[in-house]
Chain A
Amino acid sequence: MKIIAAMSGGVDSAVAAARAVEAGHEVIGVHLALASNPQKYRSGARGCCTIEDSHDARRAADKIGIPFYIWDMAEEFHDGVVENFLAEYAAGRTPNPCLRCNEKIKFAAVLDRAKAMGFDGVVTGHYARTQIGPMGKTLHRAIDPLKDQSYVLAVLTTEQINGAIFPLGDTEKVDIRIEAEARGLAVAQKPDSHDICFVPSGDNAGWLRDRLGSEVGPIVDQSGKKIGEHKGAYTYTIGQRKGLGLSVAAPDGSPRFVLKIEPVTNTVVVGAREELAVSQLFGEKTIWCGPAVGAAPLRGFVQVRAHGAALDCSYYFDGERLVAALDEPLLGIANGQAMVIYDGDRVVGSATICESA
């Protein structure tokens, strides 16, 4: 096949591209320039879109022996990922931008462009597997549980999965580094990227405060009584305990946690730990990674964080929303988080949590 290798400049995508070449594909390396300001592009310190990263990607492509180009996806990234991230926080929800990037950029803008240009698909360094069986091509967890990225890929439709190649899902990260070393790739020991790539400082709250302002508002208990002040409601997350700066102790002396964020009134609601517990999750904007699910409950797992646990549940689709009924209550769920349903290690689909009870 003729495929585009999305090369971030990291070790994973470099090895993925090399493996795709070895598998007999005709591969062209593409680095996505995602920062909208070229100055930032030059000076960014870490993440996936600095000039050093594009250089590393180029050198990896040279080593592998494939053509290399840079695609400017800054506008798409800004509109589809950064703006969405801000809007979600401003609305009191907790988004995952990596998921949005996969949904809007890597397997949408890039894959669509690649197909139009006569390519058959996109290869990335994500840790996930695909299998071909009675249900067609399906998405599965990677072998390495610590690196498994199927959660952030659970926004891919069957068509997108058909155009995606994930050569790393059957290997542990430690072995990818060894392989990169053996292949002579200079990025073999490059540290993993962490944090959010467009928040190079790693200071998520500060970044949000700079863009959304830091309007002081009340922190209230469940009765509505004001017990403190905050500096921007969206810099808090559901379940957060530290950094609330509350001087008034709870009547029973127990610690208090963020229960709710109300952006309209700029209010943060706190309460006892038990209040965080939920046993039902409701999600909107459902995406099926394979066959659609109906109203009859099925047994499986739900995961609500990128590296969270797989929780036993029953799940079904009520015609509008994806619903997961948890066997054990779960603490600290924020609207905006993605709920991803697994059948064993197969990704069934995902939805954006809009309610929990």
Chain B
Amino acid sequence: MSVYLDHAATTPIFDVALDAMQIALRKVGNPSSLHTEGRSTRKDVEDAREVIAKALGCLPSEVIFTGSGTEADNAAIKGLFWKSGKKVIVISSVEHHAVLDPARWLVEHEGAELIEIPVDTNGVINLDFLKELIEKRGGEIAVIAVMHSNNETGVIQPVGEVVKLAGEIPVHTDAVQSFTKSTLSYKELGVTSMALSGHKVGGPHGIGALILRRAYEIPALLHGGGQEREIRSGTLNAPSIVAFAAAVASNQYRAEEVAKLRERFEAGLAASVPDAYINGVAAERLPGIVNVTFPGTQSDSLLLLMDSENVSCSTGAACSAGVHRPSHVLLAMGHNEITAQSSLRFSLGANTTQADVDFALSVLPTVIARGRAANQK
């Protein structure tokens, strides 16, 4: 048996999405064309846009399709920064690289100043810090970015509170991990912009969405045919858009059931590896993500051993060459470099079963024993 517990990296495409995509791939017609075929594809795209808008609690016109969640984050951070004319970017210290790196790029190339909001040991941002910062320097802040939930720990951030504190300052939230998995309403949150991704929710790769407030224009990253409110030019990826919406509409992710499996996994962990601890355990978390520190191990050894037992999980961060690096998320939560590199992420998905969880638990004791022995050397 082989068990896939890396759904936060990517999750299998839903059958309904695959079916919808195959039909769409066989159709001809650029959604921007004016003839019959073009109008037909355009209709598919607009239907899909409405499905996503409805699921998210936003207006269809607020959905801007992009090539990925990363692109949506980049468009938001850079776009909101350029639009504002201000220099300070405020982000949480646990943001995904898709937010962190464009912010750092703006520091290096556009004279931005980056301020990170610290998190507590459970990975939740310090709202008092943000409040004080806004009181002191609110007038200088171009954008505040706080992810809806963290991709490594699943910890959910108080984005609604951030919006209240921000007042007129634009707030961006990366909701790539939260979409379809936790309560998420664009309207109720009140953020300016939000990033989504297709392949994390049972849709295909290569499709994402930037949700941006109606009539709120930002400078574009891609210029061309003027598609998507002239914020994201490029022929619309109709088959992927249609499949993305089909996955969302199918509503297959059963958060309560996934949470129960996660609880089973966590209980099993506590029983078999008593000194292991779950990062962000006291915070509100997504149903499907468990980030565990196994003291006295190195996560790259553990990953290899889990992999050879046919259980796929993740070590979190790696550089482009594949070298494991301590996670900035865990470091921000108070880990040192050693414990940060003793951690694994297991993420459950819509199709994860109790048998999967039990199998992963059954191989853990051997894997941890060997991982500890390897670390002694």
Given A38-B319, A42-B321, A51-B321, are A116 and B377 neighbors across the interface (CB < 8 Å)? yes
A109 / chain B contacts, CB cutoff of 8 Å: 377
Contact B377 A41 (CB under 8 A): no
When A28-B308, A67-B307, A117-B305 are in contact, do A38 and B321 touch as well, CB less than 8 Å? yes
Q: Given the complex, which residues of B lie within 8 Å of A69, measured CB to CB? A: 300, 303-304, 322
A70 within 8 A of B: yes
Binds A, one of B95-103, B199-207, B368-376: B368-376
B323 touches A70 (CB 8 A): yes
Closest to B319 in A: A38
Contact between B301 and A118, CB atoms less than 8 A apart: no
A83 CB–B CB distance under 8 Å: no
A residues near B373, Cβ cutoff 8 Å: 116-117
| Chain B positions 310-366 with a Cβ under 8 Å from a chain A Cβ | 319-325
A112 at interface by CB-CB < 8 Å: yes
Cβ–Cβ < 8 Å partners of B300 in chain A: 69-72
Cα of A112 to Cα of B374 in the assembled complex, Å: 7
Which of chain A's residues has its CB closest to B325's CB? A38
**B residues 186-224 with Cβ under 8 Å of A?**
none
A72:B323 contact, CB within 8 angstroms: yes
| Structural contact, B301 and A117, CB atoms closer than 8 A | yes
Size category of the A interface is 20 to 34
Q: How large is the interface on B (under 10, 10 to 19, 20 to 34, 35 or more residues)?
A: 20 to 34
Mark A33-66 against chain B: 1 for CB-CB distance below 8 A, else 0: 1000010011000000001001000100000000
If A112-B377, A116-B373, A116-B374 touch, whether A54 touches B304 (CB-CB below 8 Å) is no
Give the residues from 63 to 95 in chain A that come closer than 8 angstroms, CB to CB, to chain B: 67, 69-72, 74
- Residue ID in chain B nearest A113 by CB atoms: B374
Q: Which residues of B contact A112 (CB under 8 A)?
A: 374, 377
Give B301's nearest chain A residue, CB to CB: A117
Known contacts A28-B308, A113-B301: A54-B377 contact under CB 8 Å:
no
For B319, give its contact among A41, A58, A113, A116 (CB under 8 Å). Answer: A41
| Secondary structure dominating the interface of B | helix
User: Smallest CB-CB separation from A112: which chain B residue?
Assistant: B377
**A109-B377, A116-B377, A117-B373 given as contacts; is B301 within 8 A of A41 (CB)?**
no
- Give the shortest distance, in Å, between A36 (CB) and chain B (any CB): 10
With A28-B304, A117-B305 as given contacts, are A42 and B322 in contact (CB-CB < 8 Å)?
Answer: no
Docked pose: A58 CA to B307 CA in angstroms: 16
Instruction: Assess whether A54 is in contact with B370, with CB atoms less than 8 Å apart.
Output: no
| Residue from A58, A67, A117 within 8 A of B370 (CB atoms) | A117
Q: What residues of A have a CB within 8 angstroms of the CB of B301 in the complex?
A: 113, 117
- A41 contacts across to B, CB distance below 8 A: 319, 321, 323
B324 proximity list for chain A (CB < 8 A): 70, 72
B residues within 8 A CB of A118?
A: 305, 370
Q: A116–B321 contact, CB under 8 A?
A: no
Select from chain B the residue with minimum beta-carbon distance to A31.
B322
Question: How far, in angstroms, from A201 to B375 measured CA to CA in the complex?
Answer: 34
Which residues of the other chain, B, contact A115 by a CB distance below 8 angstroms?
A: 377
Interface of chain A residues 228 through 263 with chain B (CB within 8 A): none
Residue of A41, A42, A116 with most partner-chain B CB within 10 A: A116
Contacts of B377 in A (CB 8 A): 109, 112-113, 115-116
Least distance between B61 CB and chain A CB atoms (Å): 42
CA distance A28 to B319 in the complex (A): 21
A31 to B318, CA, bound (A): 14
Q: Which residues of A sit under 8 angstroms from B320, Cβ to Cβ?
A: 42, 51
In the complex, how many angstroms separate the beta carbon of A66 from the nearest chain B beta carbon? 11
Q: Which residues of B contact A117 (CB under 8 A)?
A: 301, 304-305, 370-371, 373-374
CA distance A31 to B300 in the complex (A): 12
Instruction: Identify 27 residue pairs between A and B in the complex whose beta-carbon atoms are under 8 Å apart, listed by A's number.
Output: A28-B304, A31-B322, A33-B321, A38-B321, A41-B319, A41-B323, A42-B319, A42-B320, A51-B320, A54-B321, A67-B304, A67-B308, A69-B303, A70-B300, A70-B323, A70-B324, A71-B300, A72-B324, A74-B323, A109-B377, A113-B374, A116-B370, A116-B374, A116-B375, A117-B301, A117-B370, A118-B305
Residues of A within 8 A of B (CB): 28, 31, 33, 38, 41-42, 51, 54, 58, 67, 69-72, 74, 109, 112-113, 115-118
Interface residues of B (CB under 8 A from A): 300-301, 303-305, 307-308, 319-325, 370-371, 373-377
Given contacts A38-B323, A70-B300, A117-B373, 5 further A-B contacts (CB under 8 A): A38-B321, A74-B323, A112-B374, A113-B377, A117-B371
The 4 closest A-B CB pairs, nearest first, are: A112-B377, A116-B373, A116-B374, A70-B322
